[in-house]
Chain A
Amino acid sequence: MSMRSASLQDDVGATLNADALRADARRESFGLLALLSPGLVLVLAVIIVPIGWLFWLSLFDEAGQMSAANYARFFEQASYIKTFVTTFKVAFTVTGACVVLGYPLAYMLSQLPRRAASICLIFVILPFWTSVLVRTYAWLVILQRKGLVNTWLMDLGVISQPLPLANNFAGVVIGMTHIMLPFLVLPLYASMKSIDTDCLRAGMNLGASPAATFRQIFLPLSLPGLASGVVIVFVLCLGFFVTPALMGGGKVIMWAMRMEQTTSLYSNWGAGAALGVVLLGVTLALLGLFQWLLGARATGVWSQR
């Protein structure tokens, strides 16, 4: 028996059943492709095609002639540059505010006992269940000239003039921070939760005070979660429309509002599409940058400090 199988191997060498095995591998890949096809078709239909179309539209001016005029406009008109700067200013400020408020919140949640943490998490997620529009109007009611905050502060005698909290940059930042906060807290909480308690204990055991343990161990280990939260918040801010439109009082014009104006007010689809393409390009570039930074961390560059 063993001799026969040995001679069989000698005869056919490496080709024993090779064709059948190759055909089986091919069948398996086709099968997997067939299973994937609904998803692929959907991605093609709702992402690739519309974005390609957007890009195509941006290449035509109002007369229907193919030109780069829609892109040249960004450099010619100062208002575009101003919008661009405002958008980034808002995005940076809101992201910063979210980090300042969200990091301690996520830290507290991660240190609470499981039951208390899940109850508190519900309060973090609760705002998701109401519409952004409703929440923005609520902020208007709270922050406007004769709103809750100003009335209380004046009744208490803290201020004599109402603070300008709505219909300006401050209003936009307050409203957007409220809406963006959960997007930062949730990934950050998840990453803090995954930090091994024994690592913190080891830090203290090896002579680091609680503050030093936090700085040298907890903080660096929570950075990946913070980075993903920051990316989500920042990218969402760049394209945000409802809150700046309502809370800005027409003084804070962001990229998405400019797009809306261009397409619905002036019906200039080419120019609107160009705005979209630029926003997409900038967002992708930022994501690439973050990816590069995170990648640097994974390869241990950060630990060299």
Chain B
Amino acid sequence: MLLSIARSALPIVIGGIEKRFGSVSVLHDLGLDVAAGEFLTLLGPSGSGKTTLLMILAGFVRANAGSIKVGGEEIIAMPPHRRNIGMVFQNYALFPHMNVFHNIAFPLKQRRVSAAETAERVGRALDLVQLKGLGERRVDQLSGGQRQRVALARAVVFEPRIVLMDEPLSALDKSLREHMQIELRNLHRRLGMTTVYVTHDQREAITMSDRIAVMNAGRIEQIDRPEVLYASPKTRFVAGFIGDSSFIPVECRDGSVWYQDRKIRMTAAAPSSGSHLMVARPEKLHLVSDGETAGKANVIPATVGDVIYQGDSFTCYAILRDGRQVALRDYCRSDALAKLPRPGEPVNLGIDADDVVLVAAD
């Protein structure tokens, strides 16, 4: 039964993975736990090792060392066809010489499922991805989105314990991609299979994941729920990769934080000493007019550089006294047009003490 996957979803415990291509180390002592039924995303720029890790999970690339346990069973030395892991490939990898039905029936055929049951399960899988009645279509008669769905149906029809997805939406156009993100998310909720998803698109990762592992240069920089990653990044890389950020250098002395000669108030505990960077998200900064009292906000003086009007919002690039540029974004309310900052105008940028996040300077 397709809907029984949730009950058999298994956790993955990955530890000590080492992978070198020649003398180049791609993954270094990598460890990762995925809970049963969790949707975990490996997010990182190209070359961060996320695809290599996925290939090691699927068994197409052999690691130099390490352990992968699925529900307690060690699979690192198991050949790919015995792993019982479903995978959705970036370019779909549908079999061009088979029609949709035979593509989806392929894993069942390998498992010697009877013809009647195969027909029933393929029918249900087609239903699940909303392709009912397209079983006889040739692969080259399908649109990109339909191919994506066939690939998805093929990867879940044999009820794998784990599903891997390698940037499955990157070949689709923007609106279809956003639609498929929601659909994939709902499908995961219905089937509940443990899913490892690879993408370099942070917005996609935030939309879909239970947890995100941000990868950089063969290591996991930070792994947490999307809202935690966004609100409290631990490193400059994570702050820069998830969401837009400007960085403002600050100095920590005697338990307080200083930007030039201004003391920065922050709710979170301040580091005791050293140079740090304050993460300034465009939507966390706001303009403070002269008469207004700053209240809880920290105020940083700047000059307006460039203002870009975007209909629902505007983005203002402000230049700090040290020449550094930071971005500020705000929604356009009814009175906003008259109050749009003008280039060259001096402004005060406010950031609430609650929103101040510091990361170590490189």
Contact = CB atoms under 8 A, between A and B. Distances in A.
* Same assembly: yes
Interface of A: 196, 198-199, 201-210, 212-213, 216-217, 220-221, 297, 300, 302-303
A206 B82 CA distance: 9
A206 B110 contact: yes
Interface in B134-159: 138, 154-155, 158
Nearest to A213: B81
Given A201-B58, A203-B106, A206-B158, A300 B86 contact: no
B60 interface: yes
Contacts of B98: 303
A83 to B, nearest CB: 40
B333 interface: no
B81 A207 contact: yes
A205 B91 contact: no
Interface of A is mostly: helix
Nearest to B106: A206
Contact of B81 (A196, A204, A300, A303): A204
Contacts of B107: 206-207
A206 B157 CA distance: 10
Contacts, number: 79
Nearest to B102: A303
B89 A208 contact: no
A208 B106 contact: yes
Nearest to B104: A206
B85 interface: yes
Contact of B93 (A199, A212, A216, A300): A199
B181 interface: no
A102 B158 CA distance: 37
Nearest to A205: B87
Given A207-B81, A207-B107, A208-B81, A303 B87 contact: no
B171 to A, nearest CB: 12
B179 interface: no
B93 A221 contact: no
A216 B102 CA distance: 11
Contacts of A208: 81, 106, 110
A303 to B, nearest CB: 5
